[in-house]
Amino acid sequence: MSRTSGSAYAQRRALRRSWVWTIIAVGAGVFSFALLSRYGLLTRWRVEQQYRELRQRYEHLVQQADSLQHRIDQLLHDQREVERLAREQYGMARPGETVYVIPSDIHDLGH
């Protein structure tokens, strides 16, 4: 083997080694960007998790709004239901009626 061919081989080997390290460095940079950047996979995962939580909360609130709207409609169209609530919650009575409050606990009797 001549001296020049050994030297050329060493140069090619050094060049190849530098290309390998360059590719590794670029690959690590691309991987880091894809995983950790503002637009990376971790950010996307967090945003999707937050979206799922907000969507679930939204659906719960829609159900709650529907339930409340049903209750409003019921109270607007059912006079007996309004009267029942007035009697039970506010102790109201019709003219001529007497309301008796019965304690629900023995301690309310004053013993």
Mind listing the pLDDT tens digit for each residue in 40-65?
A: 888 889 999 999 999 999 999 999 99
Q: What is the pTM of this model?
A: 0.52
Residue that the structure tokens 């301690």 belong to: 107
In angstroms, what is the C-alpha Rg of the chain?
A: 39
Neighbour count for residue 82 (Cβ, 10 Å)? 13
Check pLDDT > 60 for residue 2: no
Distance CA(71)–CA(78), nearest Å, equals 10
Mind listing the pLDDT tens digit for each residue in 80-101?
A: 999 999 888 888 888 888 888 7
Q: Do 61 and 16 fall within a single domain?
A: no
Number of domains the chain is built from:
2
Q: Do 46 and 79 fall within a single domain?
A: yes
Q: Do 43 and 87 fall within a single domain?
A: yes
2-11, 27-36, 64-73: segment of lowest average pLDDT: 2-11
Residue 99 lies in a domain: no
Count of H helices and E strands in the chain? 3, 0
Residue 55 belongs to what domain range?
39-92
